[in-house]
């Protein structure tokens, strides 16, 4: 594959040799704007995917496969299947299907790396579009869920009784615990980070904002976080707030928080047990509350460039940083030995081709 190749050491104008993994990259350092060739970037990694193509992860069955195929078309080469706050039987049904999909990637599907359990261990006062089934977490319940599918990320509200101690236990087991859907204070956020919390779920959304006398959970993130999610659909977060986060959080990474409405026309869709409405580029509950997004990661990349990021930095924010966060050292970068997960973009940043573990879609 020939073109402008983004490597960990910068742009190379040359050729990418690959099988299932990258074998070699030949060429010379070059300014990608100096020629008209395509851009070859690491495949996108999305750690927050609820749905797409009219399907929702909470359905179970073949929904994870259908969703993974939709996002693969938009350049996402690996993802975390994300659940909703729900009764245990609903979560178990979803995890059973996700666990099976983790074991075997279907043709033309993104690799499902595991689960992002977004609830039910959140604050009932900050549900956002989550259904009203919030509860305190127990290690026994999480271990039962882990038996069904690999838990890679778990969102918790740290101010809930017992959650700080659980954050430490989960972090010691290698789970990335994120702070989200929380009414917690700045001090609660700092304490959670000290106990091993690793990031923040859709920064700015469903958490107390920054005030100069009450810094809130956003203040804790901006002052102390190394990693956090952000949704760059330009509806959830103003471009100016995205720029604040980019200056403050070294390894900020983008997620879609995509719902069943992604890749679909306007209309009604399901998000867990909630009916959501897609219109005017967004997804909302009947009362107008934002309820996930219709974003795909190629759109996220274009939005980052639109607000002023260089393409190389935008690529890191939709790929490499998330890979590093998850400890996926052989994804999210184009280097010999890594999985041959990459996207080929034209000069307008539209997708020409997607390769997942060496296979072309």
Report CA 142 to chain centroid distance, whole Å: 21
For residue 163, tell me if it sits in a domain.
Answer: yes
Q: Rounded CA gap, 341 and 330, in Å?
A: 9
Number of alpha helices (DSSP H) and beta strands (DSSP E) in the chain: 10, 20
Position 299 in a domain = yes
Residues 116/81, Cβ–Cβ less than 8 Å: yes
CATH at 66: 3.20.20.140
**Domain assignment present for 28:** no
Per the structure block, which two tokens stand in for 30?
A: 């070059």
Residue 131 lies in a domain: yes
Residue 14 β-bridge partners: 3, 27
Q: Which H or E run contains 48?
A: strand 44-49
Q: Is 322 left (phi over 0), alpha (psi -120 to 50) or beta?
A: alpha
In a domain, residue 224? The reply is: yes
Token output for 156: 């918790």
Strand ranges in the chain using DSSP code E only, listed in sequence order = 2-7, 10-18, 22-29, 39-42, 44-49, 51-52, 55-56, 76-82, 111-118, 151-156, 176-179, 199-200, 229-230, 253-254, 267-271, 274-279, 282-284, 342-345, 351-356, 359-360
H-assigned helices in the chain:
63-73, 88-103, 139-146, 163-172, 186-194, 216-224, 239-248, 297-306, 311-315, 321-326
Indicate which residues carry an active-site annotation: 257
Q: What is the pLDDT of residue 309?
A: 98
- Dig out the tokens for 236 from the structure: 């959830």
Per-residue pLDDT of the chain (361 residues; tens, 9 = 90+): 999 999 999 999 999 999 999 999 999 999 999 899 999 999 999 999 999 999 999 999 999 999 999 999 999 999 999 999 999 999 999 999 999 999 999 999 999 999 999 989 999 999 999 999 999 999 999 999 999 999 999 999 999 999 999 999 999 999 999 999 999 999 999 999 999 999 999 999 999 999 999 999 999 999 999 999 999 999 999 999 999 999 999 999 999 999 999 999 999 999 998 899 999 889 999 888 999 999 999 999 999 999 999 999 999 999 999 999 999 999 999 999 999 999 999 999 999 999 999 999 9
Domain assignment present for 143: yes
Whole domain around residue 118: which residue ranges?
43-331
* Torsion sign (Cα): 83, 118, 135, 140: positive
The token duo for 119 is 């609830």
Tokens of 38: 């395509």
By DSSP bridging, strand 22-29 and strand 10-18 are antiparallel
For the whole model, what pTM was predicted? 0.97
Q: Is residue 346 included in any domain, yes or no?
A: no
Tokens of 126: 């900050």
Contacts of 151 (CB under 8 A, 6+ apart): 114, 115, 117, 142, 145, 175
Asked, for residue 201, whether it belongs to a domain, the answer is yes
CA angle 174, 167, 47 (to 5 degrees): 55
Per the structure, the count of domains in the chain is: 1
């Amino acid at each position: 594959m020939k073109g402008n190749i983004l490597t960990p050491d910068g742009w190379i104008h040359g050729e990418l040799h690959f099988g299932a993994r990258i074998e070699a990259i030949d060429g010379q350092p070059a300014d990608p704007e100096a020629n008209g060739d395509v851009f070859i970037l690491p495949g996108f990694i999305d750690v927050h995917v609820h749905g797409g193509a009219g399907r929702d992860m909470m359905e179970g069955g073949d929904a994870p496969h259908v969703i993974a195929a939709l996002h693969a078309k938009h350049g996402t080469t690996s993802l975390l299947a994300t659940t909703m706050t729900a009764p245990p039987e609903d979560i178990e049904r979803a995890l059973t299907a996700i666990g099976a999909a983790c074991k075997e990637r279907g043709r033309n599907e993104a690799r499902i790396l595991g689960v992002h359990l977004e609830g039910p261990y959140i604050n009932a006062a900050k549900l956002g579009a989550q259904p009203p089934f919030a509860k305190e977490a127990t290690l026994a319940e999480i271990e039962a869920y882990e038996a069904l599918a690999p838990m890679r990320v778990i969102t918790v509200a740290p101010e809930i009784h017992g959650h700080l101690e659980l954050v430490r236990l989960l972090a010691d087991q290698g789970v990335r615990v994120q702070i989200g859907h929380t009414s917690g204070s700045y001090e609660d956020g700092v304490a959670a980070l000290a106990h091993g919390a690793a990031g923040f779920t859709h920064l700015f959304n469903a958490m107390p904002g920054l005030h100069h006398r009450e810094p809130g959970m956003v203040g804790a993130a901006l002052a102390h976080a190394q990693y956090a999610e952000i949704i760059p659909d330009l509806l959830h977060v103003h471009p100016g707030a995205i720029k604040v986060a980019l200056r403050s959080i070294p390894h900020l990474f983008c997620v879609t928080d995509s719902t069943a409405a992604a890749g679909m026309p306007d209309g009604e869709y399901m998000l867990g047990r909630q009916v959501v409405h897609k219109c005017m580029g967004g997804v909302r509950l009947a009362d107008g509350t934002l309820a996930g997004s219709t974003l795909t990661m190629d759109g996220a990349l274009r939005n980052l460039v639109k607000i002023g990021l260089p393409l190389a930095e935008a690529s890191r924010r939709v790929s490499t940083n998330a890979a590093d966060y998850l400890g996926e050292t052989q994804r999210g970068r184009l280097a010999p030995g890594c999985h041959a997960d990459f996207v080929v973009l034209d000069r307008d940043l539209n997708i020409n081709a997607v390769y997942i573990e060496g296979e072309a879609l």
